[in-house]
Structure 1
Amino acid sequence: MPDASPTIGLRVVESLAGIDEQEWDACALAPGAAGNPFLSHRFLKALEDSKSVGRRTGWQPQYLLAEAEDGTLQGAVPLYVKGHSQGEYVFDHGWAQALERAGRRYYPKLQVAVPFTPVPGPRLFARPGPYADGVRDALIDMMAKLAGDNGISSVHATFCTEADWKRFGEHGWLLRLGRQYHWHNEGYRTFDDFLAALASRKRKAIRKERESVRREGLSIRQLSGDDIKPAHWDAFFAFYMDTGGRKWGSPYLTRSFFDILGDTMADKVVLVLAEADGRPVGGALNLKGDDTLYGRYWGCLESHAFLHFEACYYQAIDYAIAHGLQRVEAGAQGDHKIQRGYLPVPTYSAHWIVDPGFRRAVDDFLGRERPMVEQEIEGLMQYSPFRKENE
Structure 2
Amino acid sequence: MKNVLFTIIIVALLFSCKTKQEKKDPSQRNGERPTSSQIISEMDEDNDERLSMDEVKGRIANDFDAIDSNNDGYLTLEELDKAGKNQQGRPPRESDTNKDLSNEIDTSVKVVPVNTDYFIKENIIDGIQEQRIVLNGVETLCYVIKTHSQATEHQMGPWCPRHIDDGMEKAGIWFKDDKVYDVSGHFIANLDEFYSDDQWKLYREDGTVKYTDTEEACLAAAKPDVDEEYHNYCVECLPEYFKEQVTTFVIPATPKYLKTVQNFGNGGIGMAFNGVNYDPPAPTHAILAAHTIAPLDDHGGHVNPHGGYHYHAVTGSTKEVAQKDSHSPILGYAIDGFGIYALKDDNGNTPADLDECGGHFDDIRGYHYHAGEPGGNQIIKCLHGLPGYTEVKE
> Quick one: higher RCO (CA 8 Å, sep 6+), 1 or 2?
1
Which one has a larger percent helix, Structure 1 or Structure 2? 1
Which one has a larger percent strand, Structure 1 or Structure 2? 1
Fold similarity call, TM over 0.5:
no
TM-score (norm 1): 0.26
TM-score (norm 2): 0.26
